[in-house]
Chains A and B, each alone.
Chain A
Amino acid sequence: MIIRKERVNDFLNGLRAGYRLYAPVQTQAGPVFAPVNGATGWSWPAGNTLKSAKEVFLPQTETLFTYRTSLDGVQVEEARVEGRVVLLGVRPCDARSLTMLDKVFAGEGVRDPYYTARRENTVVLGLACNEPCGTCFCTSLGGSPFGTAGCDLLWVDLGDRYLVRVLTDRGKALVEGRPEFAPAGDADLAAARELEEGALGRMGTVPVQGVKEKLDRLFADPLWDRVYEKCLGCGTCTYLCPTCHCFDLTDEVIDGLGVRLRTWDACMYPLFTLHASGHNPRPTQKERFRQRIMHKFKYFVDNFRETACVGCGRCIRYCPVNIDIRAVLAEISAG
């Protein structure tokens, strides 16, 4: 389907009756996903958002439940997940990362009710990348700047209009019968194809072939002594990564009301694994750095037959000491 750019506002305003809208909003630090009131206050990001779309499903901080204790019991109130959401402007790498987080939080076995409810309530409106950034390498990892995994709709910017690919029933329900949309013609499809080929042609590549098999036997390799050295353990790479999902659980008491909180945490921090006895199974930054790489490129593959990196390049762009995961991967595949 096709929607002309001047009709997008009408479409979004029409959605407001049934959905809350989340879109990239500019902040001092960079664009992040936040609730918006329809047409204004947000923009499609050039490149990608600073924090990934995972934040909408696994917020950086969230209340799981509150409680009040008394002499003879405790009253627990579960936090409710807000109603239906349309999430705008998700790049294909971030959308694909959701399918990986699904395996952790909404897979076989015990499910996380908060994450699962948000996934069920949220329509993901993807935005294809006509201009991949210099740090993007999604195609090396099975993704694509026009990839559709995790999207309900994929929008392709054709200049004065968007081509809208309908991918799921949920996506279909959003656009079906809406007057802002018209059927796509051959010229629209051809224009999109040309953009896709252009984007694919400009995409950087990283040698990742055989990385998993290499890692199977590189745990004790001296390689790790070299690659981690500059790392400050700041955790930026893990917080910004769309597939990292470690968290902490803590209690706070506010005016007698107990609050059970979940907050992002990271394997890059020394306290993450510190035992109460004082023993730490990952005592230095070397072991922590290795854990981050091993988890994405080996352990996750062992468990789910998929690499837990979508090649979004955030960890490369925002690392304060310029550690480049592409170089680490190159070194592993050469090792």
Chain B
Amino acid sequence: MKNPYLPLPMRIEKITVETEDRSLRTFSLSFLNRADAEAFGFVPGQFAEVHVFGQGEAPFGIASSPLVRDRVEFTVNRIPGGVVTTALHNAREGDIVGLRGPLGNGYPVQEFEGKDVVIIGGGFAFTTLRSLTWYILANRERFGKLTVLYGAREPGLLLYKDELAAWQKRDDLELILTVDRGREGWQGKVGVVPAILKEAAPSAANAYAVVCGPPIMIRFTLPVLQELGFPPERVIMSLEMRMKCGLGMCGRCNIGHKYVCKDGPVFTLAELSELPAEY
């Protein structure tokens, strides 16, 4: 029997400071064992437990493209007082960490095929949405129109700035960037995500919306999606709960009869409305 508690050994190949306040860093990990790299495959939206040896594990959404086979990337927000996120922020390139995963269900990318996809992200929750965007771009002909709306409080807090600049130039996706407060030279929109979504008004006919962001953004975005005509079955969200095992055993991420680690973290709005609002 394969032991699901054992971590795969990984090396931190590259650390990128993403935001001006330095609270977010992206860790690019490579596999120490070739066989692990070959066996590792995932769907955008899945997550993994990253083990900082001697400190503990924490779950992070996989931020890299599933088509990049030899690297796995995570973008980590440093929580003041948080054991694992602080230890990761103190880590250096070359350090060895552990990885358990992929875990969870991931986005229903097969169902997206032949449909328009509207990706809506806010703040540092853009991580798995980046993975999803790369996946769709790599299989572009299988999907309809791709719209990516991504907002942050200010331009300096946007993740993956180089990639956003490259996406901006492509004509096979519509990228809309917005910030709450602009600054000189800012080329994107100014305004909160729900307002910009309303203005952009993507068509809901034959489309899925994927929403990830802080609770306040979600709260005001959902009514706009409803107004635009997205049915709850085609609004996709990803939940965060405290997690330990990632296997549906330790009980921590339980909401109603679901386990977010195993049955989620991705749910449709319709599925969520069936569960107690205990998240």
Interface residues of A (CB under 8 A from B): 64-65, 67, 69-74, 76, 78, 104-105, 109-113, 116, 219, 245-251, 253, 258, 260, 265, 267, 272-277, 279, 281-282, 287, 291, 294-295, 298-300, 302-303
Contacts and interface: CB of A to CB of B under 8 A. Distances in A.
Contacts of B94: 71
**Dominant secondary structure of chain A at its interface with chain B:** mixed
A166 B2 CA distance: 33
B53 A267 contact: no
A67 B53 contact: yes
8 closest Cβ contacts across the A-B interface?
Answer: A246-B251, A302-B257, A299-B257, A276-B79, A253-B54, A249-B244, A251-B56, A281-B278
In the complex, which range does the number of interface residues on chain B fall in?
35 or more
Contact of A246 (B85, B252, B276): B252
Contact of B4 (A110, A251, A295, A303): A110
Nearest to A68: B53
A81 B7 CA distance: 19
B244 A248 contact: yes
25 contacts: A65-B5, A72-B96, A73-B32, A74-B7, A76-B7, A78-B6, A110-B248, A111-B1, A113-B3, A113-B5, A247-B244, A247-B245, A251-B55, A253-B54, A258-B53, A258-B54, A272-B242, A273-B242, A275-B241, A276-B82, A279-B215, A291-B278, A298-B257, A299-B256, A300-B257
A303 B251 contact: no
A116 B55 CA distance: 27
A299 B255 CA distance: 9
A245 B249 contact: yes
A105 B278 contact: no
Contacts of B5: 64-65, 113, 249, 260
Contacts of B6: 65, 76, 78
B217 interface: no
Given A67-B53, A251-B55, A275 B278 contact: no
Nearest to B97: A74
Interface of B: 1-7, 9, 32, 53-57, 79, 82, 85, 94, 96, 98, 215, 240-242, 244-245, 247-252, 254-257, 262, 276, 278-279
Contacts of B242: 272-276
Contacts of A299: 254, 256-257
B241 A281 contact: yes
B250 A265 contact: yes
Contacts of A78: 3, 6
Contacts of B2: 113
Contacts of B278: 281-282, 287, 291
Given A246-B252, A249-B5, 10 more contacts: A112-B4, A112-B249, A113-B5, A248-B250, A249-B245, A272-B252, A273-B252, A276-B242, A281-B278, A281-B279
Nearest to B214: A277
A303 B244 contact: no
Contacts of B85: 276
Given A69-B96, A76-B7, A258-B54, A267 B251 contact: yes
B9 A74 contact: yes
Contacts of A302: 256-257
